[in-house]
């Protein structure tokens, strides 16, 4: 039986993309609840949740229903990825080599890395604006740099510190957002709080999609934060603690954003609406959100660095990345993001949302392939040594079946897309609702399963690969 280490775990993480051996495993599954609950009480999900009533003109009741449906559905996929961490003991993106091959996985790793960087840069803009809202004398660009430095320190220290901060954040931020709800509901400033907006099918579907895509966006890195758990923890425990934490936390934030904008005059910026709607406790809420965005943003920097290391290690396979390598790359990315965010902070978040919608079109088929491969084909058993070989070992440099299913999974989404680059004819017909993610999942999952089971060479590798999930 594999057990966690009994010796004290160092605060500064020493591993990067390598396999975490049994003696370095630690933590409890309940840590996943606090990580994903506390991490989702933040300005960005609040701003995103407000779009249901701001952009799609739903009323409060239908907005809440759409938010809950989206998170309940998307959270299933996110939590299934989380449950892979203890079984594999390696980051999510390098695991993709087992599905796509050592070179075939590069595109997905690159896309995930770009998305992490986009999340990080947009969050430091929010941190800068929040700090400026708390202390007027601090300019937004200075606030951006301060927020980035705070996240950078947390990300460099790594896995354990991230979990510790979110355990604290769960109680503090949870209490804060409940207090905020209480104040808003007792100090509503608008006569149309319950009547503004109405049900419309396109707006409802669009809001469901926003919530579901919020969860799916975590899929490429969620298991990075469960990979240190002992390998013998139950899959169900990992799934449910992650699922409940991410659904509760993100739903609260999304609904808080919708409530705040409905409780204030039409047309206000979401975070300005939060400050106005929470009145005398507004400054306290901004301070809590500032600390939250700094803490949670460390995950985005951490994920971006692991993706970059995975890309480099694909070609420099003799390189053994260390904590020092992770720290140096973190500093480089941090400086680049600060430069970009300061120069474009006026409309940065709008551009970021546009970018994420485009990137998710190519990440959704990856999610389907990864989950089908892990749960239905390999059943959690992989050859970790092969994943780190330059030629991909038994998984090869390319897996044609996965790449074909991936390409088809992207193509079938096109008519249903609604992105700044392209609006598909079906999406246009239903007033702009983006259902591409749902179509991508429904088509890609059975297609990949069928292709993988038809491939005799693949099944031969599978039969010879009844391999223990350790080194």
Cα–Cα distance, 30 to 169 (Å, whole number): 14
Average per-residue pLDDT for the chain: 85
Domain membership of residue 252 (yes or no) is yes
382: domain CATH number? Answer: 1.10.4160.10
Domain membership of residue 10 (yes or no) is no
* Residue 269 CB neighbours (<10 A): 15
Cβ atoms 47, 356 nearer than 8 A: no
Count of domains forming the chain = 1
Cβ atoms 41, 249 nearer than 8 A: yes
Q: What are phi and psi of 340, to 5 degrees?
A: -70, -40
Which region among 97-101, 343-347, 412-416 has the lowest average model confidence (pLDDT)? 343-347
Cα–Cα distance, 140 to 94 (Å, whole number): 36
CA angle 331–336–339, rounded 5-degree value:
125
Provide CB contacts within 8 A for 163, sequence distance 6+: 27, 31, 34, 35, 225
Domain membership of residue 217 (yes or no) is yes
Q: What is the mean pLDDT of residues 422-428?
A: 85
Q: Among the residues of 200-347, which ranges form H helices?
A: 201-216, 235-262, 270-277, 282-315, 323-344
Domain membership of residue 190 (yes or no) is yes
Q: What are phi and psi of 191, to 5 degrees?
A: -80, -20
Cβ atoms 228, 2 nearer than 8 A: no
Torsional sign, CA 367, 368, 370, 375? positive
Supply the pTM of this predicted model: 0.87
**Which residues span the domain enclosing 398?**
22-464
Would you place residue 455 in the very low, low, confident or very high pLDDT band (cuts 50, 70, 90)?
low
Percent of the chain with pLDDT strictly greater than 70 = 91
pLDDT at 467 over 80: no
Cβ atoms 198, 273 nearer than 8 A: no
pLDDT per residue over 243-277, tens digit each? 999 999 999 999 999 999 999 988 888 888 888 88
Integer Rg of the chain from CA = 22
Cβ atoms 454, 435 nearer than 8 A: no
Q: What percent helix, strand, coil does the chain show, rounded to 5?
A: 70, 0, 30
Cα–Cα distance, 132 to 139 (Å, whole number): 6
pLDDT per residue over 41-59, tens digit each? 888 889 889 999 988 889 9
pLDDT at 470 over 50: no
Domain membership of residue 471 (yes or no) is no
HSE-CB at 311 with a 13 A cutoff on CA atoms is 16
Greatest mean pLDDT among 95-104, 120-129, 190-199, 236-245 lies in 236-245
Q: What is the pLDDT of residue 8?
A: 57
Q: How far is CA 35 from CA 41, 152, 216, 371, in A?
A: 10, 18, 16, 22
Greatest mean pLDDT among 125-139, 209-223, 231-245, 258-272 lies in 231-245
Domain membership of residue 16 (yes or no) is no
Cα–Cα distance, 68 to 322 (Å, whole number): 41
Domain membership of residue 374 (yes or no) is yes
Provide CB contacts within 8 A for 359, sequence distance 6+: 111, 114, 115, 118
Domain membership of residue 3 (yes or no) is no
Q: What is the pLDDT of residue 468?
A: 40
């Amino acid at each position: 039986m594999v057990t966690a280490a009994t010796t004290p775990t160092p605060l500064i993480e020493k591993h990067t993309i390598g396999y975490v051996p049994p003696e370095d495993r630690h933590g409890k599954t309940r840590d996943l609840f606090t990580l994903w609950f506390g991490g989702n009480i933040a300005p960005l999900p609040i701003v995103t949740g407000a779009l249901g009533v701001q952009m799609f003109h739903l009323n409060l009741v239908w907005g809440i229903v759409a938010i809950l449906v989206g998170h309940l559905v998307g959270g299933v996929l996110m939590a299934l990825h989380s449950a892979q961490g203890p079984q594999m003991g390696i980051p999510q993106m390098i695991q993709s080599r087992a599905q796509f091959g050592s070179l075939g996985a590069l595109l997905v790793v690159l896309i995930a890395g770009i998305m992490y960087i986009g999340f990080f840069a947009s969050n430091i803009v929010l941190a800068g604006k929040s700090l400026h809202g708390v202390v007027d004398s601090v300019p937004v660009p200075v606030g951006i740099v301060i927020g980035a430095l705070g996240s950078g320190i947390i990300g460099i220290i790594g896995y354990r510190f991230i979990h510790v901060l979110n355990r604290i954040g769960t109680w503090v931020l949870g209490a804060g957002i409940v207090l905020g709800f209480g104040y808003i509901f007792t100090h509503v400033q608008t006569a149309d709080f319950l009547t503004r907006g109405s049900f419309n099918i396109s707006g409802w579907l669009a809001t469901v999609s926003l919530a579901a895509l919020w969860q799916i966006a975590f899929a490429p890195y969620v298991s990075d934060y469960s990979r240190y758990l002992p390998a013998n923890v139950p899959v169900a425990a990992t799934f449910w603690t992650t699922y409940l934490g991410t659904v509760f936390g993100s739903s609260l934030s999304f609904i808080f954003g919708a409530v705040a904008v409905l409780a204030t005059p039409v047309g206000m910026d979401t975070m300005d609406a939060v400050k106005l709607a929470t009145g005398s406790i507004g400054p306290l809420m901004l301070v809590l959100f500032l600390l939250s965005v700094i803490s949670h943003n460390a995950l985005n920097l951490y994920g971006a660095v692991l993706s970059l290391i995975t890309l480099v290690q694909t070609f420099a396979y003799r390189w053994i990345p260390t904590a020092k390598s992770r720290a140096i790359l973190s500093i480089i990315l941090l400086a680049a993001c600060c430069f970009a965010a300061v120069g474009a902070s006026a409309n940065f978040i709008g551009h970021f949302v546009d970018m994420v919608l485009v990137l998710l079109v190519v990440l959704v088929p990856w999610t389907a392939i990864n989950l089908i491969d892990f749960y239905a084909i390999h059943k959690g058993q992989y050859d970790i040594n092969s994943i780190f070989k330059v030629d991909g070992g038994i998984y090869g440099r390319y897996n044609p079946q996965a790449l074909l299913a991936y390409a088809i999974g992207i193509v079938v989404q096109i008519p249903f897309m609604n992105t700044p680059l392209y609006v598909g004819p079906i999406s246009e017909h239903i007033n702009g609702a983006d259902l591409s993610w749902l179509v991508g999942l429904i088509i890609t999952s059975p297609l990949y399963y069928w292709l993988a089971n038809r491939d005799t060479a693949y099944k031969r590798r599978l039969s010879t690969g009844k391999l223990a999930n350790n080194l």
